[in-house]
Structure 1
Amino acid sequence: MPLYEHVFISRQDLSNAQAESLVEHFSTVLADNGGKVVFSEYWGVKTMAYKINKNRKGHYAYMRTDSPSAGILEMERLMRLHDDVMRILTIKVDEHAEGPSVQMQKRDEREPRRERR
Protein backbone atom coordinates (compact mmCIF):
# COMPACT_ATOMS: atom_id res chain seq x y z
CA MET A 1 0.00 0.00 0.00
CA PRO A 2 1.13 3.59 -0.52
CA LEU A 3 2.88 5.45 2.29
CA TYR A 4 1.78 8.92 3.39
CA GLU A 5 2.76 11.59 5.90
CA HIS A 6 0.13 13.93 7.34
CA VAL A 7 0.36 17.12 9.36
CA PHE A 8 -2.71 18.90 10.61
CA ILE A 9 -3.30 21.99 12.73
CA SER A 10 -6.19 22.16 15.16
CA ARG A 11 -7.60 25.14 17.05
CA GLN A 12 -5.58 26.64 19.91
CA ASP A 13 -8.42 26.62 22.44
CA LEU A 14 -8.52 22.81 22.57
CA SER A 15 -6.86 21.03 25.47
CA ASN A 16 -3.86 18.79 24.84
CA ALA A 17 -5.98 15.69 25.44
CA GLN A 18 -8.60 16.85 22.94
CA ALA A 19 -5.94 17.56 20.33
CA GLU A 20 -4.37 14.13 20.84
CA SER A 21 -7.79 12.49 20.64
CA LEU A 22 -8.17 13.93 17.14
CA VAL A 23 -5.19 11.80 16.07
CA GLU A 24 -6.89 8.73 17.53
CA HIS A 25 -10.17 9.63 15.83
CA PHE A 26 -8.57 9.95 12.40
CA SER A 27 -6.56 6.76 13.03
CA THR A 28 -9.81 4.85 13.47
CA VAL A 29 -11.14 6.39 10.25
CA LEU A 30 -8.10 5.02 8.42
CA ALA A 31 -8.46 1.62 10.10
CA ASP A 32 -12.10 1.44 9.02
CA ASN A 33 -11.01 2.05 5.42
CA GLY A 34 -8.25 -0.57 5.32
CA GLY A 35 -5.26 1.50 6.39
CA LYS A 36 -3.15 1.90 9.50
CA VAL A 37 -1.15 4.56 11.29
CA VAL A 38 2.48 3.47 11.50
CA PHE A 39 3.66 6.33 13.72
CA SER A 40 2.14 9.48 15.19
CA GLU A 41 3.46 12.46 17.12
CA TYR A 42 1.83 15.36 18.88
CA TRP A 43 4.05 18.40 18.36
CA GLY A 44 2.21 20.68 20.78
CA VAL A 45 1.01 24.26 20.50
CA LYS A 46 3.10 26.35 18.12
CA THR A 47 2.87 29.93 16.88
CA MET A 48 1.94 30.18 13.21
CA ALA A 49 3.48 32.57 10.70
CA TYR A 50 0.08 34.12 9.95
CA LYS A 51 -3.42 34.04 11.39
CA ILE A 52 -5.80 31.28 10.34
CA ASN A 53 -9.45 31.85 11.30
CA LYS A 54 -8.36 34.54 13.79
CA ASN A 55 -5.96 32.12 15.55
CA ARG A 56 -2.27 32.89 16.08
CA LYS A 57 -1.41 29.47 17.50
CA GLY A 58 -2.45 25.90 16.85
CA HIS A 59 -1.99 22.31 17.99
CA TYR A 60 0.22 20.47 15.48
CA ALA A 61 -0.01 16.71 14.95
CA TYR A 62 1.96 14.41 12.64
CA MET A 63 1.11 10.92 11.35
CA ARG A 64 2.86 8.37 9.14
CA THR A 65 0.35 6.06 7.49
CA ASP A 66 0.17 3.01 5.28
CA SER A 67 -3.20 3.16 3.59
CA PRO A 68 -4.99 2.86 0.26
CA SER A 69 -5.89 6.11 -1.42
CA ALA A 70 -9.60 5.66 -0.68
CA GLY A 71 -8.86 5.70 3.05
CA ILE A 72 -6.74 8.83 2.71
CA LEU A 73 -9.46 10.61 0.74
CA GLU A 74 -12.07 9.74 3.37
CA MET A 75 -9.82 10.91 6.22
CA GLU A 76 -9.07 14.20 4.44
CA ARG A 77 -12.76 14.73 3.73
CA LEU A 78 -13.60 14.27 7.41
CA MET A 79 -10.73 16.55 8.43
CA ARG A 80 -12.06 19.31 6.19
CA LEU A 81 -15.53 18.93 7.72
CA HIS A 82 -14.28 18.87 11.32
CA ASP A 83 -14.68 22.24 13.05
CA ASP A 84 -11.52 21.88 15.17
CA VAL A 85 -9.13 21.19 12.25
CA MET A 86 -7.86 24.38 10.56
CA ARG A 87 -5.29 23.10 8.02
CA ILE A 88 -4.14 19.74 6.66
CA LEU A 89 -1.18 18.61 4.59
CA THR A 90 -0.79 15.13 3.10
CA ILE A 91 2.33 14.00 1.26
CA LYS A 92 2.92 10.67 -0.48
CA VAL A 93 6.41 9.32 0.27
CA ASP A 94 8.48 6.43 -1.08
CA GLU A 95 9.52 5.24 2.38
CA HIS A 96 9.13 6.32 5.98
CA ALA A 97 12.14 7.69 7.85
CA GLU A 98 13.21 5.85 10.98
CA GLY A 99 12.91 7.47 14.40
CA PRO A 100 11.23 10.71 15.40
CA SER A 101 10.44 13.46 12.94
CA VAL A 102 12.83 16.38 12.45
CA GLN A 103 10.46 18.58 14.45
CA MET A 104 10.95 16.43 17.58
CA GLN A 105 14.73 15.97 17.27
CA LYS A 106 17.16 18.15 19.15
CA ARG A 107 19.33 20.45 17.07
CA ASP A 108 22.55 18.55 17.78
CA GLU A 109 20.93 15.20 16.79
CA ARG A 110 19.89 16.39 13.33
CA GLU A 111 21.92 15.75 10.23
CA PRO A 112 23.92 18.78 9.10
CA ARG A 113 22.45 20.84 6.29
CA ARG A 114 23.91 20.78 2.82
CA GLU A 115 25.94 23.74 1.66
CA ARG A 116 24.17 26.15 -0.64
CA ARG A 117 25.60 26.90 -4.03
Structure 2
Amino acid sequence: MRHYEVLFILKPTLTEEEVSAKLEFVKEILSKNGASIESVVEMGTRKLAYKIKKYERGTYFVIYFKAEPSLINELERVLRITEEVIRFLIVKYENKKEIAAWEKLSHGIKQTKKEIKPLESPEV
Protein backbone atom coordinates (compact mmCIF):
# COMPACT_ATOMS: atom_id res chain seq x y z
CA MET A 1 0.00 0.00 0.00
CA ARG A 2 1.19 3.47 -0.87
CA HIS A 3 0.91 6.71 1.11
CA TYR A 4 -1.37 9.44 -0.27
CA GLU A 5 -2.93 12.75 0.63
CA VAL A 6 -6.03 14.21 -0.99
CA LEU A 7 -6.87 17.89 -0.58
CA PHE A 8 -10.26 19.00 -1.82
CA ILE A 9 -12.19 22.27 -1.71
CA LEU A 10 -15.96 22.35 -1.35
CA LYS A 11 -18.30 25.15 -2.39
CA PRO A 12 -18.69 27.79 0.35
CA THR A 13 -22.48 27.87 -0.13
CA LEU A 14 -23.01 24.43 1.45
CA THR A 15 -24.58 24.10 4.89
CA GLU A 16 -22.71 22.36 7.71
CA GLU A 17 -24.81 19.22 7.19
CA GLU A 18 -24.03 19.16 3.46
CA VAL A 19 -20.31 19.69 4.13
CA SER A 20 -20.17 16.82 6.63
CA ALA A 21 -22.19 14.63 4.22
CA LYS A 22 -19.69 15.30 1.40
CA LEU A 23 -16.76 14.56 3.71
CA GLU A 24 -18.38 11.26 4.71
CA PHE A 25 -19.03 10.55 1.01
CA VAL A 26 -15.31 10.92 0.16
CA LYS A 27 -14.27 8.86 3.20
CA GLU A 28 -16.76 6.16 2.17
CA ILE A 29 -15.28 6.01 -1.36
CA LEU A 30 -11.82 5.54 0.13
CA SER A 31 -12.84 2.85 2.60
CA LYS A 32 -15.02 0.94 0.09
CA ASN A 33 -12.02 0.67 -2.22
CA GLY A 34 -9.72 -0.72 0.48
CA ALA A 35 -7.99 2.46 1.68
CA SER A 36 -6.85 2.90 5.24
CA ILE A 37 -7.64 6.45 6.39
CA GLU A 38 -4.99 7.73 8.82
CA SER A 39 -6.38 11.20 9.53
CA VAL A 40 -8.74 13.90 8.31
CA VAL A 41 -7.83 17.57 8.67
CA GLU A 42 -10.60 20.14 8.36
CA MET A 43 -8.94 23.41 7.43
CA GLY A 44 -12.15 25.44 7.41
CA THR A 45 -13.40 28.05 4.99
CA ARG A 46 -10.67 30.19 3.45
CA LYS A 47 -10.26 32.78 0.76
CA LEU A 48 -9.05 31.31 -2.52
CA ALA A 49 -5.98 32.72 -4.26
CA TYR A 50 -8.15 33.33 -7.33
CA LYS A 51 -11.76 32.77 -8.32
CA ILE A 52 -12.70 29.18 -9.12
CA LYS A 53 -16.10 28.66 -10.78
CA LYS A 54 -17.12 32.18 -9.61
CA TYR A 55 -16.32 31.38 -5.96
CA GLU A 56 -13.89 33.48 -3.92
CA ARG A 57 -13.95 31.21 -0.85
CA GLY A 58 -13.94 27.47 -0.25
CA THR A 59 -14.05 24.89 2.54
CA TYR A 60 -10.78 22.91 2.64
CA PHE A 61 -10.23 19.30 3.73
CA VAL A 62 -7.13 17.09 3.71
CA ILE A 63 -7.30 13.31 4.10
CA TYR A 64 -4.15 11.22 4.69
CA PHE A 65 -4.59 7.59 3.64
CA LYS A 66 -2.85 4.41 2.52
CA ALA A 67 -4.16 2.62 -0.55
CA GLU A 68 -3.35 0.61 -3.63
CA PRO A 69 -2.55 2.70 -6.75
CA SER A 70 -5.67 1.39 -8.54
CA LEU A 71 -7.89 3.39 -6.14
CA ILE A 72 -6.56 6.74 -7.36
CA ASN A 73 -8.28 6.56 -10.77
CA GLU A 74 -11.63 5.87 -9.12
CA LEU A 75 -11.14 8.65 -6.55
CA GLU A 76 -10.23 11.12 -9.31
CA ARG A 77 -13.26 10.10 -11.36
CA VAL A 78 -15.66 10.57 -8.46
CA LEU A 79 -14.18 13.92 -7.36
CA ARG A 80 -14.38 15.25 -10.95
CA ILE A 81 -18.10 14.50 -11.27
CA THR A 82 -19.05 15.69 -7.77
CA GLU A 83 -20.53 19.17 -8.29
CA GLU A 84 -19.82 20.36 -4.73
CA VAL A 85 -16.05 19.84 -5.15
CA ILE A 86 -14.58 22.89 -6.88
CA ARG A 87 -10.93 21.74 -6.84
CA PHE A 88 -8.90 18.74 -5.63
CA LEU A 89 -5.31 17.56 -5.50
CA ILE A 90 -3.98 14.04 -4.87
CA VAL A 91 -0.36 13.69 -3.71
CA LYS A 92 1.61 10.43 -3.60
CA TYR A 93 4.49 10.08 -1.12
CA GLU A 94 7.17 7.78 -2.56
CA ASN A 95 10.66 7.85 -1.01
CA LYS A 96 11.66 7.38 2.64
CA LYS A 97 11.91 11.12 3.39
CA GLU A 98 8.48 11.79 1.93
CA ILE A 99 6.93 8.88 3.82
CA ALA A 100 8.51 10.12 7.07
CA ALA A 101 7.01 13.55 6.40
CA TRP A 102 3.64 11.91 5.65
CA GLU A 103 3.78 10.07 8.99
CA LYS A 104 4.35 13.35 10.83
CA LEU A 105 1.68 15.24 8.91
CA SER A 106 -0.91 12.50 9.33
CA HIS A 107 -0.37 12.57 13.10
CA GLY A 108 -0.55 16.38 13.29
CA ILE A 109 3.17 16.96 13.91
CA LYS A 110 4.54 19.99 12.11
CA GLN A 111 7.92 19.84 10.39
CA THR A 112 10.74 22.09 11.48
CA LYS A 113 12.70 24.22 9.03
CA LYS A 114 15.73 21.96 9.55
CA GLU A 115 13.75 19.00 8.19
CA ILE A 116 12.62 20.87 5.09
CA LYS A 117 15.62 21.11 2.80
CA PRO A 118 15.66 23.35 -0.27
CA LEU A 119 16.23 21.80 -3.65
CA GLU A 120 19.91 21.74 -4.47
CA SER A 121 20.97 22.65 -7.96
CA PRO A 122 23.36 20.21 -9.63
CA GLU A 123 26.92 21.37 -10.03
CA VAL A 124 28.07 22.04 -13.57
Do these two structures clear the TM 0.5 threshold for a shared fold by scoring above it?
A: yes
How far 1:115 sits from its partner (Å)?
9.4
**Separation in 2 of the partners of 1:101 and 1:14?**
30
Where in structure 1 do 4 or more consecutive aligned residues deviate above 6 Å? 113-116
- The structure with more radius of gyration: 2
**Equivalent-residue separation in structure 2 for 1:65 and 1:20 (angstroms):** 18
Q: Which runs of 5+ in 1 are unaligned?
A: 103-109
2:103 match: secondary structure: coil
Which string of whole-angstrom CA distances, capped at 9 and with x for unpartnered residues, describes residues 77-101 of structure 1?
A: 1010000001110110142232327
Query: In the alignment, which of 100, 103, 107 is matched to residue 108 of structure 2?
Result: 100
Match for 1:6: what amino acid?
Answer: V
What is the aligned length? 110
Question: Cα offset for 1:33?
Answer: 1.2
Question: Does residue 3 in structure 1 map to residue 3 in structure 2?
Answer: yes
SS of equivalent residue, structure 1 residue 97 = helix
Higher mean displacement: 46-55 or 20-29: 20-29
Aligned residue in 2 for 1:29: 29
TM-score of the two chains, using structure 1 as the length reference: 0.82
Once the 2 structures are TM-superposed, how far is the Cα of residue 73 of structure 1 from its aligned partner?
A: 1.5
Identity of aligned residues (%): 25
- CA RMSD across the alignment: 2.2
- What is the CA deviation profile of residues 43-83 of structure 1, one whole-angstrom value per residue up to 9, with x for unaligned ones? 11000010000000000000001011221211111010000
**Pairs within 5 Å for 1:35-114:** 35-94=35-94, 95=99, 96-98=102-104, 99-100=107-108, 111-112=112-113
Code of the residue aligned with 1:111 in structure 2: it is: T
In structure 1, the residue matched to 2:12 is 12
Secondary structure of residue in 2 paired with 1:50: strand
So what's the TM-score if we normalise by structure 2? Answer: 0.77
Asked if the contact 1:6/1:90 (under 8 Å) is kept, the reply is yes
